[in-house]
Amino acid sequence: MPENVDTVLVANRGEIAVRVMRTLRRMGIRSVAVYSDADAGARHVAEADIAVHIGPRSAAESYLSIEKILGAARATGAQAIHPGYGFLAENAAFASACADAGVTFIGPPASAIDSMGDKIRAKNTVGAAGVPVVPGRSDTGMSDADVRQGAVDAGFPVLLKPSAGGGGKGMRAVYDESTLDDQIAAARREAKSAFGDDTLLVERYVATPRHIEVQVLADAHGNVVHLGERECSLQRRHQKIIEEAPSPLLDEDTRHRIGASAVDAARSCGYVGAGTVEFIVSADRPDEFFFMEMNTRLQVEHPVTELVTAVDGTRGLDLVEWQVRVAAGERVPFTQDDLRIDGHAVEARVYAEDPARGFLPTGGEVLALHEPSGDGVRVDSGVHTGLNVGSDYDPMLSKVISWGPTRAHALRRLDAALADTVVLGLGTNISFLRALVGHEDVRAGALDTGLVERALPTLVGDAGHTPDEVYVAAALERLLDAESGAEASPWSATTGWRIGRPAWSTWKFAADGGEVAVRLRGRAADAEVEVVHADGNATGRVSAGFDGRFLVVTFDGVTRRYRTLHADGTTWLAAGGRTWALEEHQLLAEAGAAHGPGDGIVTSPMPGTVLVADAAVGDTVAAGQTLFVVEAMKMEHTITAPVDGSVSEVHVRKGQSVGLDQPLAVLTSDTHQES
């Protein structure tokens, strides 16, 4: 343990805060958590040695408040602050404020953050050091005419990019000169709106791009090494989903050259600590790479590098430990020649989101949780049973990471680990991740940043379809619950006992605006079953029981195992990475009994905050008319009237927080009024 550091404040939340604290605990360093009102029951708060409340739900008034973070450090005697990623991690003013307060910032100098934070300055800085940059023009303060000439000189297609900001906002691909002027004007408007700065740069557009990044580690004594590259091409909306190390694209010569360029980029800005240099590589020309940007912090995907990096023949490196040691003034004790890449690692990000609904965030209480383990499997998680996942912050719940001696082995382990991952109580992207891991192009290593968008229909597949066997399993779970609660007397049984042949017991579940009925005759251990729905009836024999962990169901000769839980009229089941929430239909009927058959219940498609509430009781509205706008994680969703009619009920107001599928208003349709 560094002698001058015994207490570190972690200025973050969720899985990264938990992950940093794990290393601090192993190093014998006391950890301090900070938390907002929304995170009072969060896992990182429970696992810290000390926890300090710093403000309300708003990130601007809590996790982004430099004054409150430094106040918590002073109050707890923390000598250093680890920023994690996001929030203040790449804020040069925060790094400077830490230095002024005499607190060590576990990250690079403010000057390095500042020089790499602006895309134009970063490109000019690394370009001067000989790092390859995308052909184009990135002069400061270019006029529209300058941007136009830069585009013509680079050759079409080109990419217009805001100098400030990230996440793909304001980026525009231009394929020919005829639309260039309009696209420049539009890109400036979007950049000004998103970042308060309409400065643009222009680059040649790289076809079939692959996102390759290199991990670097530098100390304050001039030592800089790279720890190999990561492939991060599987993305949705410019956000990474699955990452791996090493990249299946690069040959050894290119791997050596791109690593050396990353080291040169780090040296060019006086970098200290762990950082990532990002490059863009064309799948058609894998030997040619160009600098994109440098992330002056730890990356979400750092575990894949940790799992494959071997030092002096021993695999496994803790980047958080080396961040702490370097910040405390220690030297990096190994050279580039001491480092090797051993095997392959892949990471999948588990989000509270619905891929079938455009990756809209979900939310709710984590009713049950099971995370995988075993050889070659690692989970970095920020959730626990009982946690309420809201819309205040990023919807990432955890990361599932696998290692194997080969890429194929690592992918198989990751698929198995995802299949064993269960989160009951809210929707997640686990099933989507399994489909992506199993996609033929992913298996073949034929990746690019557009693959997810192209393959999305097949990746979400039958996400909205619930198989008959799942309805049967839900009914059997209810029957087993009834049997376990019944007294020995047949007169108290709830399973249809009578003199002669047993009666049918029926459970009805909501399904796509209708219902599915499951009829069972006999006890759960051996029963006849009939499934009745719009597509016809299915019959057979079933048996079910609990083996301590799973609901084990045999239906039509096929045995399946489910993790299951029943709460508030909903039976949750999970198997193979998929989760189903089956609501008993009679409960829905009771909830909607006050409304007529022609009514339209308007619900929120995601948890969030109501930004616009244009509906009032008595208003006459037309189908498609905007009623509400709900925002979550800087994403706005417009909610429109489903039918022509009048507003009979309004349940929310502007500024109110709402949950997934929470009723916002009720419309009485014109047809219902006329009847």
Burial class of 348 by CB neighbour count within 10 A (0 to 12, 13 to 18, 19+) = buried
Confidence at residue 488, expressed as pLDDT on a 0 to 100 scale: 44
Question: By the 8 A CB rule, do 168 and 177 touch?
Answer: no
C-alpha separations of 666 from 57, 61, 329, 647, 649 in Å: 29, 35, 63, 6, 5
| Alpha-carbon gap, residue 253 to 356, rounded angstroms | 41
Confidence at residue 586, expressed as pLDDT on a 0 to 100 scale: 56
Among residues 139, 187, 141, the alpha carbon closest in space to that of 165 is found at: 187
In the structure encoding, which two tokens stand for residue 53, read together?
A: 């409340």
Average pLDDT of the segment spanning 426-453: 96
Confidence at residue 588, expressed as pLDDT on a 0 to 100 scale: 44
Question: Would the CA dihedral through 370, 372, 374, 377 be positive or negative?
Answer: negative
pLDDT tens per residue, range 231-258 = 999 999 889 999 999 999 999 999 999 9
Using 50, 70 and 90 to split pLDDT, how confident is the model at 194?
Answer: confident
Question: Quick check: 493 pLDDT over 60?
Answer: no
Question: Quick check: 674 pLDDT over 60?
Answer: no
Question: Quick check: 153 pLDDT over 70?
Answer: yes
Going from N- to C-terminal start, the domains of the chain cover 7-106, 124-134+210-342, 135-204, 348-463, 468-587, 592-674
In the structure encoding, which two tokens stand for residue 341, read together?
A: 């890449």
C-alpha separations of 334 from 297, 312, 318, 337 in Å: 21, 9, 14, 8
Question: Quick check: 3 pLDDT over 80?
Answer: no
Stretch (H or E) spanning 111: helix 110-117
Confidence at residue 169, expressed as pLDDT on a 0 to 100 scale: 75
Question: Quick check: 127 pLDDT over 90?
Answer: yes
Report the percentage of the chain scoring pLDDT > 90: 72
Amino acid (one-letter) located at 231: E
Question: Quick check: 486 pLDDT over 60?
Answer: no
Among residues 165, 653, 56, the alpha carbon closest in space to that of 393 is found at: 56
Confidence at residue 604, expressed as pLDDT on a 0 to 100 scale: 86
| Residue in the structure block whose two tokens are 């002698």 | 3
Confidence at residue 670, expressed as pLDDT on a 0 to 100 scale: 64
140 or 219: which leads in pLDDT: 219
When mean pLDDT is compared across 137-151, 342-356, 368-382, the lowest value belongs to 137-151
Report the CATH architecture of 468-587: 2-Layer Sandwich (3.30)
Residues constituting the chain: 675
Reduced to 3 states (helix: H, G, I; strand: E, B; else coil), residue 382 is: coil
Q: Are strands 599-603 and 663-669 parallel, antiparallel or unpaired?
A: antiparallel
pLDDT tens per residue, range 95-110 = 999 999 999 999 999 9
| Alpha-carbon gap, residue 351 to 237, rounded angstroms | 14
Confidence at residue 657, expressed as pLDDT on a 0 to 100 scale: 74
Question: Quick check: 593 pLDDT over 70?
Answer: no
Quick count: other Cβ atoms within 10 Å of Cβ 571?
Answer: 26
600 or 352: which leads in pLDDT: 352
Confidence at residue 501, expressed as pLDDT on a 0 to 100 scale: 65
Largest Cα span, the chain? 91
Stretch (H or E) spanning 200: strand 200-204
Among residues 288, 268, 291, 311, the alpha carbon closest in space to that of 214 is found at: 291
Report the CATH architecture of 348-463: 2-Layer Sandwich (3.30)
Confidence at residue 584, expressed as pLDDT on a 0 to 100 scale: 86
Average pLDDT of the segment spanning 299-327: 97
Bond into 157 cis (ω within 30):
yes
Question: By the 8 A CB rule, do 82 and 11 touch?
Answer: yes
pLDDT tens per residue, range 348-366 = 999 999 999 899 999 899 9
Question: Quick check: 599 pLDDT over 60?
Answer: no
When mean pLDDT is compared across 133-147, 200-214, 575-589, the lowest value belongs to 575-589
pLDDT tens per residue, range 538-570 = 899 999 999 989 999 999 899 999 999 999 889
| Alpha-carbon gap, residue 226 to 260, rounded angstroms | 8
When mean pLDDT is compared across 125-139, 278-292, 661-675, the lowest value belongs to 661-675
Domain 124-134+210-342 CATH superfamily: ATP-grasp fold, B domain (3.30.470.20)
| Alpha-carbon gap, residue 129 to 118, rounded angstroms | 17
Question: By the 8 A CB rule, do 44 and 19 touch?
Answer: no
Question: Quick check: 333 pLDDT over 80?
Answer: yes
Task: Judge if 124-134+210-342 and 348-463 fold alike in CATH terms.
Answer: yes
Confidence at residue 167, expressed as pLDDT on a 0 to 100 scale: 61
Q: What angle do CA 582, 584, 585 make, to 5 degrees?
A: 115
Confidence at residue 496, expressed as pLDDT on a 0 to 100 scale: 53
Question: Quick check: 457 pLDDT over 80?
Answer: yes
Domain 135-204 CATH superfamily: ATP-grasp fold, A domain (3.30.1490.20)
Sheet holding 657-658: strands in order across?
Answer: 635-640, 626-632, 608-613, 657-658
What average pLDDT does the structure give for the chain? 91
Buried b (16+ CB within 10 A) or exposed e, 604-623: bbbbbbbeebebeeebebee
Amino acid (one-letter) located at 345: A
Considering the four listed CATH numbers 1.10.357.10, 2.60.40.10, 3.40.50.460, 2.40.50.100, the one that applies to the domain covering 592-674 is 2.40.50.100
Average pLDDT of the segment spanning 215-222: 98
When mean pLDDT is compared across 145-154, 156-165, 293-302, the lowest value belongs to 156-165
670 or 370: which leads in pLDDT: 370
Among residues 104, 86, 659, the alpha carbon closest in space to that of 393 is found at: 86
Confidence at residue 607, expressed as pLDDT on a 0 to 100 scale: 81
647 or 265: which leads in pLDDT: 265
Confidence at residue 490, expressed as pLDDT on a 0 to 100 scale: 55
Average pLDDT of the segment spanning 403-418: 98
Angle at which helices 252-268 and 119-128 pack, to 10 degrees? Answer: 110
| Alpha-carbon gap, residue 641 to 603, rounded angstroms | 10
Using 50, 70 and 90 to split pLDDT, how confident is the model at 178?
Answer: very high
Reduced to 3 states (helix: H, G, I; strand: E, B; else coil), residue 373 is: coil
Question: Quick check: 485 pLDDT over 80?
Answer: no
Among residues 468, 445, 420, 427, the alpha carbon closest in space to that of 575 is found at: 420
Sheet holding 514-523: strands in order across?
Answer: 504-511, 514-523, 526-533, 536-546, 551-555, 558-567, 570-575, 578-583
Q: Write the DSSP symbol of residue 425.
A: S
When mean pLDDT is compared across 35-44, 445-454, 592-601, 653-662, the lowest value belongs to 592-601
pLDDT tens per residue, range 384-400 = 999 999 888 999 999 99
Confidence at residue 589, expressed as pLDDT on a 0 to 100 scale: 41
pTM: 0.85
Question: Quick check: 166 pLDDT over 80?
Answer: no
> Is CATH 3.40.50.20 the right assignment for the domain spanning 7-106?
yes
Question: Quick check: 498 pLDDT over 60?
Answer: no
Using 50, 70 and 90 to split pLDDT, how confident is the model at 494?
Answer: low
Query: What's CA 132's distance to the chain center, in Å?
Result: 31
